[in-house]
Amino acid sequence: MLKLDEIQKRLLREVADLHTVPEGAYNIRSNSKSIGRQSSANIEITPKTEVSGLEVHIKPGTKNESVHIPVVMTESGLKELVYNDFYIGENSDVVIVAGCGIDNCGPKDSEHDGIHRFYVGKNAKVKYVEKHYGSGDGSGKRILNPGTEVYQEEGSSVEMEMVQIKGVDDTNRMTKAVLGAGAKLVVRERLMTHASQNAVSTYEVYLNGAGSSADVVSRSVARDNSYQKFDAKIIGNAPCSGHTECDSIIMDNGRILAVPGLEANDLDASLVHEAAIGKIAGEQIIKLMTLGLTEAEAEEQIINGFLS
Amino acid sequence: MLELKNVCFGVEADGNEKEIIRNVSFDIPDNEFVVITGPNGGGKSTVAKLIAGIEKPTSGKIIFNGEDITERSVTERAKKGIAYAFQNPVKFKGLCVFDLLKIAAGKEIKISDACDYLSAVGLCARDYINREINSSLSGGELKRIEIATVLARACFLSVFDEPEAGIDLWSFQNLIEAFRTMREKIENSSILIISHQERILEIADEIIVIKDGEIEKKGKRDDVLPSLIGTPEVLGTCRNNVPLKGEPAVC
């Protein structure tokens, strides 16, 4: 039976909502080593041989199953680069939960760079959840640089929930997706930065198949002296529809740069972008104060709701 | 319950002090239904904001249940039992109706409680409790949810700034019913409404007319209302829109 210490348990709760070892297929990576792995009848997880990482093969037609591959780091000064590849069989319907939690109590930087590639078969449906979390009072930074590549075949559907709410000092997220005919991609990113954190999130979505669609929406909050850049580009190479949206709240000395980009290379490509950045509306705070909350409590409620 | 003593309020405009409210004094006893009416731009909404603490008087005092609350914050006044419904309800991305009702009630509430508040304002709770309070809701829906938050607060004094604006005639009747129920449920509670609507004035115990920042008239409904009927200050029930200043009410 897999034994976890309290810090590992806390990080797993934060990044994967796991209170115990998950059911179904999983791999738990702690301090650069796999400390628990299980495949299921339909989902096979094997380690890569030439580089660090995993191959996850999901059989065609696999329905209502999940894969958990959380990563936790509790040793200061670790730096790792991991490649995880997912092969999702045709007509399957699965949930994949990734995520990384770093607890750094030491003076050295800890860094996890995870490159995830998804090969999504025809008519397959994937929900992907990735949460990032940092804790620990060391002077070493907590750094996460996720790279995500998604290749969607005809009629497939991918919903990605990317969440980074607390404690990650530096992050550079790059997401690329290539969609075939009738494929659908939905991204919901939620980000909060504080202290002197820096977060860059870049999307490149290629709508190559007729009838493909993408909806990339980011909601973020930048507090204290933190900085964010949201750079989302949708390229329509076929009759398709794409929408990108950045909705942000700035507080204190927080700064945000939103760079929505659209490129239409087909007459029937319909692409839309929206971006809004601003502080919390004063009237929202006053409304909640008239309901009995203090100003600080009102702000907290507004932020929690906005990022929920 | 509430007393305003010589309250004045001014703002700075183009380097000059502009007086919005001049020497306004009145009191609202326990268990009273008071309506403030008067022409647009006369200062009615400012009085409501001064009571809720959103604006602070330049001079004068506001006494609530015997305590001077003039310097108290919006939060402190809310905790002491003053509820305030905005004229233009505020939208919140991410907060749903149930969240707002829970905050308003100040405690964990059951879905059935939320349903009661929403039913009282003529909304079918099932369709609304999980709705985000954003632009997908119509003006009338937002207005009713705003009133529901005040019902959920169950305060000694509830102030409504033009609660009828944007509400159709069907729910208008419900609204009046909601005010009645509120008064029955909370012992000795009082309601203060800013309104132009004749039908709301008709159920008032007392009417205060504010014009050009001053109290023009105040007294029992039967003494004040007859002189207002047919003036631009008061609208018949057939009109939902506020007329332009000086425009006669049309029925």
Q: What is the pLDDT of residues A135-155, one digit of tens each?
A: 888 888 888 889 999 999 999
Q: Is A306 within the bounds of a domain?
A: no
Percent of chain A clearing pLDDT 70 (strictly above): 98
Task: Name which residue leads in pLDDT, B65 or A105.
Answer: B65
Question: Nearest CB to B75: which of A289, A301, A302?
Answer: A289
Smallest CA–CA distance, residue A115 to chain B, in Å, is 31
Q: Is A287 within the bounds of a domain?
A: no
Strands in B16-28's sheet, in edge-to-edge order, are B16-28, B2-13, B59-64, B67-68
- Predicted ipTM? 0.89
CB contact under 8 A, B73 and A305: no
Q: Is A168 within the bounds of a domain?
A: yes
- The per-residue pLDDT for A99 is 84
Nearby residues of B66 by Cβ (< 8 Å), 6 or more positions away = none
What is the mean predicted confidence (pLDDT) over B96-105? 94
Smallest CA–CA distance, residue B240 to chain A, in Å, is 25
**β-bridge mates for residue A173, sequence order:** A201
Would you list which residues of chain B are within 8 Å, Cβ to Cβ, of chain A?
52, 54, 73-75, 78-79, 83-84, 86, 90, 92-96, 99-100, 103-104, 106, 149, 153
Task: Domains for chain B: give ranges and CATH numbers.
Answer: 2-228 (3.40.50.300)
- The per-residue pLDDT for B233 is 61
DSSP summary character for residue A291 = T
CB contact under 8 A, B74 and A290: yes
Q: Is A292 within the bounds of a domain?
A: no
Smallest CA–CA distance, residue B25 to chain A, in Å, is 23
3-state secondary structure of B104: helix
Q: Is the pLDDT of residue B170 over 70?
A: no
What is the mean predicted confidence (pLDDT) over B50-75? 96
Nearest to B162 by CA among B47, B9, B6: B47
Would you list which residues of chain A are within 8 Å, Cβ to Cβ, of chain B?
219, 247, 281, 283-284, 286-295, 301-302, 304-308
CB contact under 8 A, B149 and A291: yes
d(CA A33, CA A22): 18
- Can you give the pTM of this predicted structure? 0.83
Give strand ranges (E) for A238-284.
240-250, 255-264, 269-278
Query: What CA–CA distances, in Å, run from B99 to A224, A307, B110, B154?
Result: 27, 14, 11, 17
What tens digit of pLDDT does each residue of B217-230 get?
Answer: 999 999 988 888 76
Q: pLDDT-derived band of residue B246, with 50, 70 and 90 as boundaries?
A: very low
Task: Name which residue leads in pLDDT, A259 or A1.
Answer: A259
d(CA A303, CA A103): 24
- The per-residue pLDDT for A166 is 82
Q: Is A305 within the bounds of a domain?
A: no
Paired tokens of B202: 């008709």
Chain A residue with Cα closest to B80? A292
Contacts with A287 from chain B: Cβ below 8 Å: 86, 90
Smallest CA–CA distance, residue B250 to chain A, in Å, is 34
Q: How many domains does chain A have?
A: 1
Chain B residue with Cα closest to A303? B94
- The per-residue pLDDT for B194 is 95
- The per-residue pLDDT for B244 is 39
Structural domain containing residue A260: 6-282
Smallest CA–CA distance, residue A281 to chain B, in Å, is 9
Contacts with A284 from chain B: Cβ below 8 Å: 90, 92
Q: pLDDT-derived band of residue A1, with 50, 70 and 90 as boundaries?
A: low
Q: Is the pLDDT of residue B245 over 50?
A: no
Q: Assess contact for A282 and A254: CB atoms under 8 A.
A: no
Query: What CA–CA distances, in Å, run from A254 to A131, A199, A222, A245?
Result: 22, 12, 5, 19
Q: Give chain A's mean pLDDT.
A: 92
CB contact under 8 A, B103 and A308: no
